[in-house]
Amino acid sequence: MIVGMKNSPPSSDAILLQRFQAVAEETRLSIVRLLSAGERCVCELQVDLDAAQSRLSFHLKKLKDAGVVEDRRDGRWVYYRLVPEALEEMRSVLGELGSVCEEAWRGRPDSRCCG
């Protein structure tokens, strides 16, 4: 740990990295895909993913800690939904990287590294 940085807020790059790491796992990516259709109850996600509640809770916590999903309680049920701003930020970064790659490769005679 860097001395003096203990209580500083995470950088936007650190947050982005946490989000990409959170969705870069098969079950969590499946959760994100299911939630892209709208809010879902944990019990629905359990059925759709054929997952035990404890396993699903672990993955949902990772996504929630990364800011990719948020939850709300309704009685005894917990519902999850995507955080559109988080996904838009991720999409924007990937779009920027795609543009940089296109520009870097434009005009190259072939795809070999050192030509």
Spell out the residues 6+ positions from residue 59 whose beta carbon is closer than 8 angstroms to its own: 25, 27, 28, 31, 51
3 occurs within a structural domain: no
In the prediction, which pLDDT does 111 show?
56
58 occurs within a structural domain: yes
pTM: 0.75
Does the pLDDT value for residue 4 go beyond 80?
no
pLDDT 10s digits, 45-91 = 999 999 999 999 999 999 999 999 999 999 999 999 999 999 999 98
Domain span holding position 25: 12-104
In the prediction, which pLDDT does 1 show?
34
- Residue 49 maps to which CATH number? 1.10.10.10
Does the pLDDT value for residue 113 go beyond 70?
no
18 occurs within a structural domain: yes
Looking at per-residue confidence, does 112 or 88 come out higher? 88
Contact 104, 111 (CB under 8 A): no
